[in-house]
Amino acid sequence: MSVLIYLDQSDNHIKKSAYEVLTYGSKLAAQLGTSAEALVLGTVADDLASLGKYGVAKVHQVNNENLNHVDAQLYAKIISEAVAQVSASVIVFSQSPTGKSVAARVAARLKAGLVAGAASLPDTSNGFVVRKTVFSGKAFANVSINTPIKVISLNANSISAVAGEGAATVEQMNIAVDASKIKITAVNKITGEIPLSEADIVVSGGRGLKGPENWGVLLDLAKVLGAGTACSRPVGDAHWRPHHEHVGQTGIQVAPNLYIALGISGAIQHLAGVNRSKIMVVINKDPEAPFFKAADYGIVGDLFEIVPQMTAEIKKLKGIA
Amino acid sequence: MKILVCISKTPDTTSKIAFTNGNTKFDEAGVTWIINPYDEWYSLVRAIEIKEKDPSTVIHLVTVGASDCEPIIRKALALGGDEAFRINADSSDSFYIAAQIAELAKQNNYDLIFTGKEAIDYNSSAIGGMIAELVDMPYISLATQFDLNANTASVTREIEGGEEVAEINLPLVVSCQKGMAEQRIPNMRGIMAARTKPLKVVEPAAIEALTSIINFELPPAKAGCKMVAADNVPELIRLLHEEAKAF
């Protein structure tokens, strides 16, 4: 019996989402009266022992550079083997690109019930019931997992990472790694920007910005906030901004602490991609924009006047010249 | 080339989300049903494009659902599928659905199985990976571009903080998202042809669901939007900093 927490890594570093799943998995292990252990696949430069701060006693690693790129087929085999070796009864993933690729395969391989997109810790008072987001964040479902082994994939920003004291034992796992059937021919990391999936703050622009040449005001605000930048679907479709910035029902779903919408009316399809944000701020010249109904703070006015003032105020607050 | 495209019936993106029967059942009153957009716009249309390039390609469609799924299956056939299967069962459990589709896939030797990256109702992003495991094929998730060169696929997929291009031999399962293809509208010829295309109803295999939905909840109502005057931007920043503690 243990909770096994799979940690996402990329470019030899543990991802931010890993600290959230570590916290989640450790709390769950405490709730179940069992131990929390973590699993890392591939080569990682970080100090794995320090992950003990997040409540795990052991960090297992399969230190093989063939695992630095995700091959879901290979990963599922290795993770399932690790589950058997540590007798895990719950496996926790992040609902990240890696988690979306791998968690379902592991669940199917182990005939384990899966809740993907979990939003809170399971209720174990009567069975094992996990709350997950459904209908693109417009509702939650409480889902009972009815199998001895359970797989949970946790939504980003559902829990805050909590670091305490302690060091974990790092153990190399003895698991054979087959050759991957996938050959990676190119990797294009988004550099110089904060990946949307990891951004605590997102500043997003819509048609109200009137054209790609006007994005400077938005980028300035994003810069002082250390925010990721996003856009609405019409903006992506018009190629004002790159496609990977499109958030909404059919684009990327984000759940930052703060989402600032500039010149976005807030169509239901857009809200479906952002409604898990903790705080939403809307700047729009149209007082009837539906986004105001969903927002926490709003200003009705000309964003080209308001946004530079916001940037200046935040600079003052942060002591930036 | 034989392609299986998995489609799911979902409420239209503008549907009001509500529940009945003590919050145990989705309220279908007044709901318009559509093909899950990721299944339609990206995976089905990409499969059709492959067939347009190589007319010997056969596209099968599959959905797991009751007879009320048939209008969306006919629409998918009108867009360009050749033959459809409806597995006559209703379930919210990803494993149950994936295992039913895997049973069909095992009988038909597909070169490619396409799914959407997720369905917009349960948002699990799980079906593709589960099918791949159950039929023991490689799986490329979150694909934004897909090209074929004989038996080798070149697929661009979303990864942590970016994208990568993977080369891989068929057979293969791919989950598709924005970038794969552009939305199409069925034409009259397609709609007419779809009426006579085969839609086979298959009884489900004996498979046990591994999860069950106890009930649904709606998120607590927002307290309402706090409006700040346009000439008082410092107040907005003060609220965000001191009250919301957003930065």
- Residues B189-205 pLDDT 10s: 999 999 999 999 999 99
With contacts defined as CB-CB under 8 Å, which chain B residues touch A113? Answer: 93, 95, 210-211
Q: Which residues pair with B174 in a beta bridge?
A: B114, B140
Domain extents in chain A: 2-172, 201-318
Average pLDDT estimate for A126-135: 96
Closest CB from B14, B128, B236 relative to A299: B236
Of residues A1 and A27, more confidence is placed in: A27
Binary contact (B166, A198; C-beta < 8 A): no
Average model confidence (pLDDT) across chain A: 95
- Cβ neighbour number for residue A108 with a 10 Å cutoff: 26
Q: What is the pLDDT of residues B165-182, one digit of tens each?
A: 999 999 999 999 988 999
pLDDT tops 90 at residue A231 = yes
Q: Taking residues B111-138, report their average pLDDT.
A: 97
Q: From residue A20, how far is each of A116, A120, B124 by CA, in Å? A: 15, 11, 19
Q: What is the pTM of this model?
A: 0.93
Q: Which of A191-200, A249-258, A285-294 has the highest mean pLDDT?
A: A285-294
Q: Do A246 and B158 touch (CB under 8 A)?
A: no
Distance CA A139, CA A177 (A): 41
Which of B118, B132, B230 lies nearest to residue A72, judging by beta carbons? B132
Asked if B210's CB is within 8 angstroms of A146's CB, the reply is yes
Note whether B239 contacts A297, CB cutoff 8 Å: yes
Calpha distance A215→A212 (Å, rounded): 6
Give percent above pLDDT 90 in chain A. Answer: 88
Domains A2-172 and A201-318 share a fold: yes
In three-state form (DSSP H/G/I as H, E/B as E, the rest C), the secondary structure along chain B is CEEEEECCEEECCCCCCCEECCCCEECCCCCCEEECHHHHHHHHHHHHHHHHHCCCCEEEEEEECCHHHHHHHHHHHHHCCCEEEEECCCCCCHHHHHHHHHHHHHHHCCCEEEEECCCCCCCCCCHHHHHHHHHCCCEEEEEEEEEEECCEEEEEEEECCEEEEEEEECCEEEEECCCCCCCCCCCHHHHHHHHHCCEEEECCCCCCCCEEEEEEECCCCCCCCEEECCCCHHHHHHHHHHHCCCC
Instruction: Report the residue of B115, B225, B232 to disrupt the A interface, i.e. the one with the largest count of A CBs within 10 Å.
Output: B225
Question: What count of other Cβ atoms lies within 10 Å of the Cβ of residue A316?
Answer: 12
Please indicate whether, in this complex, the C-beta atoms of A107 and B95 are within 8 angstroms of each other.
yes
User: What residue of B is the nearest CA neighbor of A221?
Assistant: B237
Closest residue in chain B to residue A16, using alpha carbons only: B160
> Are the Cβ atoms of A190 and B41 closer than 8 angstroms?
no
A85-129: pLDDT as tens digits: 999 999 999 999 999 999 999 999 999 999 999 999 999 999 999
Task: Please state, for a pLDDT cut of 70, what percent of chain A lies above it.
Answer: 99
Helices assigned H by DSSP within chain A: 16-32, 72-85, 97-110, 216-225, 233-237, 268-274, 291-294, 303-318
What is the assigned CATH class of domain A201-318? alpha beta
Instruction: Give long-range contacts, CB 8 A cutoff, 24+ apart: A80-87.
Output: A80/A106, A80/A109, A80/A110, A81/A175, A82/A4, A82/A39, A82/A173, A82/A175, A83/A4, A83/A110, A83/A149, A85/A173, A85/A175, A86/A2, A86/A4, A86/A37, A86/A58, A86/A60, A87/A1, A87/A2
d(CA A210, CA A263): 9
- CA torsion sign, A109 to A110 to A111 to A115? negative
Residue keyed to tokens 């940037």: A311
- From the list A187, A301, A306, which residue is nearest B164 (CB)? A187
CATH topology of domain A2-172: Rossmann fold (3.40.50)
Q: Based on the number of CB atoms within 10 Å of its own CB, is B220 exposed (0-12), middle (13-18) or buried (19 or more)? A: exposed
Specify the 3-state DSSP secondary structure of A172.
Answer: strand
Rounded to the nearest 5°, which phi and psi values hold at B228? Answer: -115, 140
| Structural domains present in chain B | 2-219 (3.40.50.620)
pLDDT exceeds cutoff 70 at B146: yes
Closest to A182 (Cβ–Cβ): which among B94, B138, B160? B138
For B160, which residue in chain A has the nearest alpha carbon? A97
Indicate the average pLDDT of chain B.
96
The pLDDT value given to residue A250: 83
C-alpha dist (Å) from residue B141 to A177, A272, B11: 21, 21, 23
A192 pLDDT higher than 70: no
Long-range contacts of A174-180 (CB under 8 A, 24+ apart): A175/A62, A175/A78, A175/A81, A175/A82, A175/A85, A177/A62, A177/A64, A177/A66, A177/A67, A177/A74, A177/A78, A178/A74, A178/A77, A179/A66, A180/A66, A180/A69, A180/A71, A180/A74
User: B38 with B119: CB under 8 angstroms?
Assistant: yes
Burial class (CB in 10 A: 0-12, 13-18, 19+), B136: exposed
Q: Which of A115, A130, A132, A138 to mutate to test the interface with B (most CBs of B within 10 A)?
A: A138
The pLDDT tens digits of the residues spanning B60-92 come to 999 999 999 999 999 999 999 999 999 999 999
- A vs B, Cβ pairs < 8 A, gives 282
What residues in A contact B146, CB-CB < 8 Å?
none
With beta carbons under 8 A apart, name residues in chain B contacting A181: 138, 168-169
